[in-house]
Amino acid sequence: MTKNKVRIQNAVTYGMVILFWVVIQVMDKTGHLSSLFKGLLVPLCMYAILAVSLNLTVGILGELSLGHAGFMCLGAFSGAFLTNCLETAVPSVGLRFFMALILGALVAGVFGLLIGIPVLRLKGDYLAIVTLAFGEIIKNLINVLYVGRDSNGFHFSMKDTTSLGMDKETGVVLIKGAQGITGTPRAATFTIGILLLLLTLFIVLNLIHSRTGRAIMSIRDNRIAAESIGINITKYKLMAFSISAALAGMAGVLYAHSLSTLKASSDNFGYNKSILILVFVVLGGLGNMRGSIIAAMLLTALPELLRGLNDYRMLIYAIVLIVMTIFNSSPKAIELRSVVMSKLRGGAKKEVA
Amino acid sequence: MAADSKSVKMADGAVKSGGSAGQAAKAGTVPTLEVKNLSISFGGLKAVDGFNVVIEKGQLYGLIGPNGAGKTTVFNLLTGVYKPDTGVILLDGKNITGRKTIEINQEGIARTFQNIRLFKELSVLDNVKVGLHNHHKYSTLEGILRLPSFYKVEKEMNERAMELLSVFDLDKECDYKASNLPYGKQRKLEIARALATDPKLLLLDEPAAGMNPNETAELMETIRFVREKFNMTILLIEHDMKLVAGICERLTVLNFGQVLTQGETSEVLNDRRVITAYLGE
Ligand SMILES: Nc1ncnc2c1ncn2[C@@H]1O[C@H](COP(=O)(O)OP(=O)(O)OP(=O)(O)O)[C@@H](O)[C@H]1O
Ligand SMILES: [Mg+2]
């Protein structure tokens, strides 16, 4: 029955992530990992989380969002801010990182809700426009945001450090405009990244295969019919969108803790980043979480791994893009894939018998 | 399965006494649906103009009329898709005029659509389970954490959904993607999904459209069976006069948004005005 099929599919997805972790551990222990690749491991997890979470909005809810980097940015800054604030109060870096992850997810989730409430009530594709603007606004605001703390408490400014008007002796600048946040402990490890990816999968996959997930997908498939059988459209749209935003915020916190300096630059959090994540989702297949992970990891690692090939690098990248698109989106290829899969399954059954 | 085919036969016998339910109701109880002076215009066009109807509990009622007469618009008004310009809609005596679609469903009206609207990417089973959404509940968090309530309620939902699917002989196709069902079965699935919301009144918009005579005959049986098994009140729009004459007890004829005539099926179908409305002057 489908229920078992779903269970197997999910197990394969979790298994794939765990296997990837094991392989990397073995390669690391045996000294087969280049330092270049080691530096890539946390971003790989981060992009996989971002792609899976965006797929919840795009593939499962069926709404286009172009502001995923904005939610990631909010998470990154609120998380890094907390970690730095609590430096003396909470000495354990691990505990601070954990608290930062929760705060980052919460902040991004609340913003998702705030954007969703006016926009998701409208019929039509307004979400794409609004989220695109939101991402840019957040990035630009944080770029001119100065926050400091002294014995009197917190100080905010949109101008520069001096206008914070802090006490000379005790004043510490926490967020320094375009220079961002420096000195965040680099607590993010590959293992933590994989754990967060597994958590994301757990939340998203269990959500999809539950009463709530069915309601969300019914809205995607036919809004009018969903309404006619009593599904609260706004509620479920908001729920999917803010969970998606919260997970992006969590990925942002992971990112912030893998850098010594966090800047709200266009490279880090611009709309290009949002579109890159969307590319992962589309290439991996709408609603296909495993595909999102594979696409995100492959396309993040590929340009780096192919660096030695110089001239052919972008060519190979382009070919991989095209092949993945065909593999995941062309009806013929999907048909072929299901035939192959059922053959394999049939073969497996015979073996058992 | 065996139990099911038995109950179908029992239901068949019961159909003949079904008409009496309507008569008993007339003796003073509140009708399931009462609509007074319902109107809406689109621009200058009066799509529905002073529509009235009274449907007693357990009745199988037909709404007929030429293309563009305003039949589907009446359904859209009853289910809150459009807000009426004038008029009152009473469901079991309760005023539901101007309420939202989801509230009206929760009050007890469910419908199917003239142009089929299934959840195409979901399985046949899941289509029905979405219909059960408001009757079998657990929270989102319970679902994500897979708490015992999740397994318990999902099991109930599966059983109930399979029960409904077997009424429509769709139980074997429960794992199919809804869009992979043949056309006739898609129409049946829409009815099953509507019934899953446990309505007081079921609205069917051209349930036999696109079906061949065999499928239509089978559908007639199914509609009768649904009325008996679920003690359902049904209002249906249909162009197939054989179906209408075969199962509807009373009819209302719409023409250019207005009620042309209403009454017992046989009288209405022999009315000269109805014949000219259909054939044109
Ligand atoms: N949303 C709308 N905006 C403008 N005009 C509409 C709208 N909905 C319906 N109409 C018009 O109202 C009239 C009645 O349409 P309706 O769909 O109710 O007819 P119908 O009786 O169901 O016809 P059919 O048998 O072809 O399904 C038509 O002239 C139609 O064009
Ligand atoms: Mg119609």
Q: What are the phi and psi torsion angles at A155 (to 5°)?
A: -130, 140
Position A121 confidence tier, pLDDT thresholds 50, 70, 90: confident
Does A212 sit within 8 Å of B143, measured CB to CB?
A: yes
Q: How close B192 gets to chain A, by Cα (Å)?
A: 11
Q: What is the mean pLDDT of chain A?
A: 88
Residues B2, B66: Cα–Cα separation, whole Å? 42
C-alpha A109 – ligand 1 centre gap (Å): 42
CB B84 within 8 A of CB B40: yes
Among B111, B140, B175, whose Cβ lies nearest the Cβ of A212? B140
Q: Chain A interface, mutation test: which of B102, B179, B186, most A Cβ atoms within 10 Å?
A: B102
What Cα–Cα distance (Å) separates residue B268 from each residue in A250, B32, B73, B244?
A: 67, 22, 22, 11
CB A238 within 8 A of CB B180: no
CA B69 to chain centre: 19
Residue A328 scores a pLDDT above 90: no
Q: Chain B interface, mutation test: which of A7, A200, A228, most B Cβ atoms within 10 Å?
A: A228
* pLDDT (average), residues A155-181: 81
CB A245 within 8 A of CB A16: no
- How are beta strands B33-42 and B86-91 bridged, if at all? antiparallel
- Which residues, in sequence order, are CB contacts of A281 under 8 Å at separation 6+? A51, A54, A55, A58, A59, A292, A295
What Cα–Cα distance (Å) separates residue A81 from each residue in A43, A95, A163, A169?
A: 20, 14, 20, 21
- Which residues, in sequence order, are CB contacts of B69 under 8 Å at separation 6+? B254, B255, B256, B257
Give me the torsion for CA of B165, B168, B169, B171, rounded to 10°: -10
* pLDDT (average), residues B255-262: 93
| Among A58-72, A142-156, B150-164, the least confident range | A142-156
The per-residue pLDDT for A228 is 96
pLDDT (tens digit, 9 = 90+) per residue, A171-183? 788 888 888 898 8
CB B96 within 8 A of CB B90: yes
* pLDDT (average), residues B21-33: 64
* pLDDT (average), residues A275-299: 92
Residue A335 scores a pLDDT above 90: no
Give B-chain residues touching A221 at CB under 8 angstroms: 118-122
Pick B178 or A345 by higher pLDDT: B178
* pLDDT (average), residues A266-270: 89
The per-residue pLDDT for A350 is 43
* pLDDT (average), residues A293-305: 88
Does B133 sit within 8 Å of A217, measured CB to CB?
A: no
* pLDDT (average), residues B186-206: 96
Structure token digits, residue A282: 């589309």
Size of interface A-B (CB pairs under 8 A): 100
Among A211, A213, A227, whose Cβ lies nearest the Cβ of B102? A227
The per-residue pLDDT for A70 is 96
Position B9 confidence tier, pLDDT thresholds 50, 70, 90: very low
CB A197 within 8 A of CB A43: no
Pick A152 or A42 by higher pLDDT: A42
CB burial of residue A202 (10 Å; 0-12, 13-18, 19+): middle
Residues B231, B110: Cα–Cα separation, whole Å? 14
How is residue B205 annotated by DSSP?
A: E
Tokens 């022999």, residue located: B270
Pick A115 or B14 by higher pLDDT: A115
* pLDDT (average), residues B255-265: 93
Instruction: State what percent of residues in chain A have pLDDT above 70.
Output: 93
Identity (one letter) of the amino acid at A116?
A: G
The per-residue pLDDT for B263 is 93
Structure token digits, residue A278: 């969307």
- Which residues, in sequence order, are CB contacts of B90 under 8 Å at separation 6+? B31, B33, B34, B35, B36, B96
CB burial of residue A28 (10 Å; 0-12, 13-18, 19+): middle
CB A237 within 8 A of CB A120: yes
- Tell me the residues of chain A between 255 and 314 that have a Cβ less than 8 Å away from chain B: 287
Alpha helix ranges (H) inside A222-330:
223-228, 233-256, 266-269, 271-284, 289-305, 313-329
pLDDT (tens digit, 9 = 90+) per residue, A227-238? 999 999 999 999
Q: Per DSSP, what are the bridge partners of residue B45? A: B42
Strands, E assignment, chain A: 146-150, 153-157, 172-176, 181-182, 261-262
Residues A280, A298: Cα–Cα separation, whole Å? 9
Long-range residue pairs from B260-268, CB within 8 A, at least 24 positions apart, any chain: B260/B65, B262/B53, B265/B62
| Among A14-28, A150-164, A241-255, B245-259, the least confident range | A150-164
CB burial of residue B21 (10 Å; 0-12, 13-18, 19+): middle
The per-residue pLDDT for A55 is 97
pLDDT (tens digit, 9 = 90+) per residue, B31-72? 999 999 999 999 989 999 999 999 999 999 999 999 999 999
The per-residue pLDDT for B17 is 39
Pick B49 or A161 by higher pLDDT: B49
Helix axes B124-131, B148-167, angle to 10 degrees: 110
Q: What is the mean pLDDT of chain B?
A: 88
CB B230 within 8 A of CB B20: no
Closest by CA to A296, choosing from A16, A79, A62, A6, is A16
Instruction: Count the Cβ atoms, other than its own, within 10 Å of residue B85.
Output: 13
CB burial of residue B165 (10 Å; 0-12, 13-18, 19+): buried
